[in-house]
Chain A
């Protein structure tokens, strides 16, 4: 019964969305089609009235929103009558529902985040905000706070920044290195290639939450597989202990290393598949020609393989860098439990914790804008470097 009601609830919602889309389409159609009729005058009026009714019914009505809607309606009618004139309206009808969705759920939240970052929304001001929609304006204070106050309970912004670069660099480096080596081996092999490939992509195919959580268990100091293997190795080869090999408290002493190891395990298959695709598209004749000229394996690698897979590798590395930089999942899943450590947090995971563990909403909005700026600068510099290298 419980299942049925929730199913009905969702079905109802989907139907509402579809009816909403239908309304948008009818609205657009009337405007585009009837722009030259004498009674067109009524259509914007009726539309404004319907908007008013909708706003009233979902409790979002305010004179300000109504003013903007009226303004938009007038502008739109003007466009219909004097600019579009019933020509070529079909593409708009197809695109507009998607863009309304994007505007409401991606662009508006972004703008709202900018708004938040100049105000002061925290646990004490959230209830008044919920009722009246007003928050005190504080200007640039939150942005200064990002650099002055630590985002988490002790870790400062600069520590997080350094850790983020370390994390991003080491992960991407080992992803590419591991992926490259595996792809090279796979491209040399003829037997069982398909089977190896399938088994090697398992970390990528597994749901990330399952993979990270189960690996987190494997790093448990006592019952985790990693330490059990270390102990077994020591008991069979006693000299290892003298070299300094010993079981490690992975999760409490080296959380960042643990997260990095887990993420390397997760990320290699993607790089491997991408690089393998690149390797397979290189014509064998290059290598044959090089062999005749007496090139060694390393020379072939340097002068044939690397330049030819560059067009595949560069976008993959760019994407990989952005993904790793933005990776909250691995770090939060490993350290996010109550009482979890802060020693592994990078910028984005600290952002998540600042917002939802410490409930500093405006602060984390400003923090988010700073991170966004850093990411934009990195991407910009990166694209410049690539351009310079290509010319």
Chain B
């Protein structure tokens, strides 16, 4: 009895150490963000520094284009996810419900696109977008992002549609609905969880993307937040406080959304993979 108690205390201790390691960088970023202006760079390790202020946050909004960066990111991310989910939802339905010539090849193409390293396609995409004169525009970014997570979304949605019994649509068709109507009125509302997973996946993908944005956007006003933070962090000494404040503003909502949806996310991933 006593032995197991010691063991359990030891395990808790180990976990607490692990938790400290995983959460400490976030806590420290927070403490840097509320340091007063003259002590942003210091070797101080306390969590709430002496004379804590929100001056870095205020400076971030006043001296940089932070709001614009968030707005740019939001607008690019929302439009790509919207396009991605609309295209994926109908293509996945077709793959799930019908047998047609070319279905197998289509699924193989989807797999193949997952094999190609994303970093490899940045160069041709950049050259294409340059040739279309879309450098430094939203459209260039949306075009570059829009299909990158399409194969994965199709895969997840197909897996989910497969779990919905065919008899639901058959019943509707007996009542006189055509196939398209049955899809929009019965299947789509039923697959809201899978649709939101696909949307969320598209969203996080584009929201956190950095490398493509780096080559397409070069005007500070049209940066996404990832580029903006990179610039702020680059000038380590001068803008560390603003960088920290920006990181906190970005991270907190993302963390909340992730923790709220993580249950679905994991189940959604298995849904997609179990049904191959």
Contacts and interface: CB of A to CB of B under 8 A. Distances in A.
B95 A13 contact: no
A13 B79 contact: yes
Given A91-B100, A98-B88, A352-B119, A205 B255 contact: yes
A218 interface: yes
Contacts of A325: 117
Interface stretch (B52-60, B168-176, B190-198, B208-216): B208-216
Interface residues of A, number: 96
Contacts of B3: none
Interface stretch (A147-155, A181-189, A282-290): A181-189
A329 B42 contact: no
B187 to A, nearest CB: 12
A225 B32 CA distance: 11
A355 interface: yes
Contact of A199 (B23, B25, B43, B93): B23
Nearest to B128: A109
A355 B113 contact: no
Interface in B218-242: 226, 229-230, 233-234, 236, 240
Q: Is the interface of A mostly helix, strand, loop or mixed?
A: helix
Interface residues of B toward A: which range?
A: 35 or more
B146 interface: yes
A379 B117 contact: no
B255 A202 contact: yes
Contact of B122 (A7, A112, A352, A375): A352
A95 interface: yes
A213 B230 contact: yes
A137 interface: no
A366 to B, nearest CB: 11
Interface in B104-133: 106, 109-110, 113, 115-128, 130-131
Interface string B55-79: 0000000000000000110011001
A130 B28 CA distance: 48
Given A113-B120, A326-B119, A337-B234, A205 B43 contact: no
B163 interface: no
A320 interface: no
Contacts of A66: none
A152 to B, nearest CB: 15
A91 B214 CA distance: 38
Given A88-B100, A99-B91, A223-B42, A9 B138 contact: yes
A220 interface: yes
A326 B113 contact: no
A256 interface: no
A200 B22 contact: yes
Contact of A209 (B87, B128, B229): B229
A202 B95 contact: no
B91 A13 contact: no
B259 interface: yes
Contact of A356 (B11, B100, B214, B233): B214
Contact of A379 (B115, B139, B233, B236): B115
B124 A326 contact: no
A186 B83 contact: no
B117 A372 contact: yes
B25 A215 contact: yes
Contacts of B229: 209-210, 213
Interface string A179-207: 00010011011011000101111110111
26 contacts: A10-B79, A14-B82, A14-B83, A98-B87, A99-B91, A101-B87, A102-B109, A102-B147, A106-B116, A106-B147, A110-B116, A121-B127, A182-B18, A200-B15, A201-B262, A202-B26, A202-B255, A214-B25, A214-B28, A214-B233, A315-B273, A326-B117, A328-B119, A328-B211, A371-B120, A376-B115
> Would you list the 3 A-B pairs with minimal beta carbon distance, nearest first?
A109-B124, A94-B94, A98-B91
Interface of B: 8, 11-12, 14-15, 18-19, 21-26, 28-29, 41-43, 45, 71-72, 75-76, 79, 82-83, 86-88, 90-91, 93-95, 97-98, 100, 103, 106, 109-110, 113, 115-128, 130-131, 137-139, 142-144, 146-148, 150-151, 154, 179-180, 207-208, 210-211, 214-215, 226, 229-230, 233-234, 236, 240, 243-244, 247, 250-251, 254-255, 258-259, 262, 266, 273
Given A108-B124, A198-B259, A376-B115, 13 more contacts: A13-B138, A14-B82, A105-B143, A107-B109, A199-B22, A202-B22, A205-B254, A208-B208, A214-B243, A223-B41, A225-B25, A351-B120, A352-B119
